């Protein structure tokens, strides 16, 4: 029987072991950079949930956890840059150090809106950690990914939190979808 973890439409791009090793490195770097501070990790739902769960256990600091959910206007898969906040933070962030945790930066439109929005609330600092960076389709060229896991090619990827029509977030690895029409 073919299981979802061995779907022939997937080509493994990053194994669970590769992801795990890189997440440890990112956590260690954040631990060093934020020594003596108490940052708030802000996970962007839903895609960042798996990455955030692993990353936070590698950050050896007093951290707190928040979530935001955003949606691009319109039904197009490619975002327009207009972003609607579906779920906002539960706390005020004035004077706080914020680390936004995202699954993938593609055009950068969602993130550039979000980072500006958080900065406008009077945060002391706002940094971005993204597991994946897909640089080719970037529209917001000046967007800075402070902590980046991996650069990926301009292909549709799933797994480790990333979905295709809400499926495959549970894959323990990241795969390129060979034929998106079949995903
Ligand atoms: P953007 O950077 O504003 O274009 O939006 C990035 C968002 O698009 C991510 O948070 C993902 O939800 C989604 N996305 C972009 N590329 C992929 C992909 O290859 N697989 C799954 N979701 C993706
Ligand atoms: Mg996302």
What confidence tens digit (pLDDT) does each residue in 50-104 have?
A: 999 999 999 999 999 999 999 876 555 555 667 899 999 999 999 999 999 999 9
Separation of 163 CA from ligand 1 center, angstroms?
9
106 belongs to the catalytic site: yes
Q: How does pLDDT run across 7-50, given as a tens digit for each residue?
A: 999 999 999 999 999 999 999 999 999 999 999 999 999 999 99
30 neighbors 59 (Cβ within 8 angstroms): yes
Separation of 149 CA from ligand 1 center, angstroms?
15
Q: Which CATH number does 16-154 carry?
A: 3.40.50.2020
Ligand 1 binding pocket includes 156 (Cβ within 6 Å): yes
Greatest pairwise CA separation for the chain in angstroms: 54
**DSSP character at residue 142:** T
């Amino acid at each position: 029987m073919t299981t979802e973890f061995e779907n022939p439409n997937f080509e493994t791009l990053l194994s669970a072991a590769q992801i795990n090793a890189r997440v440890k490195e990112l956590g260690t770097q954040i631990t060093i950079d934020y020594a003596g501070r108490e940052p708030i990790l802000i996970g962007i739902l839903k895609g960042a949930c798996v990455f955030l769960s692993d990353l936070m256990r590698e950050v050896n600091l007093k951290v707190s956890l928040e979530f935001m959910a955003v949606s691009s206007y319109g039904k197009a898969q490619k975002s327009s840059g207009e972003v609607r906040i579906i779920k906002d933070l539960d706390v005020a962030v004035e004077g706080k150090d914020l680390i936004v945790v995202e699954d993938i930066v593609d055009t950068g439109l969602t993130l550039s809106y979000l980072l500006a929005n958080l900065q406008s609330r009077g945060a002391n600092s706002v940094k971005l950690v993204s597991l994946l960076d897909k640089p080719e389709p970037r529209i917001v060229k000046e967007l800075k990914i402070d902590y980046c896991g991996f650069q990926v090619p301009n292909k549709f990827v799933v797994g480790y939190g990333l979905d295709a029509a809400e499926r495959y977030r549970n894959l323990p690895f990241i795969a390129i979808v060979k034929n998106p029409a079949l995903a």
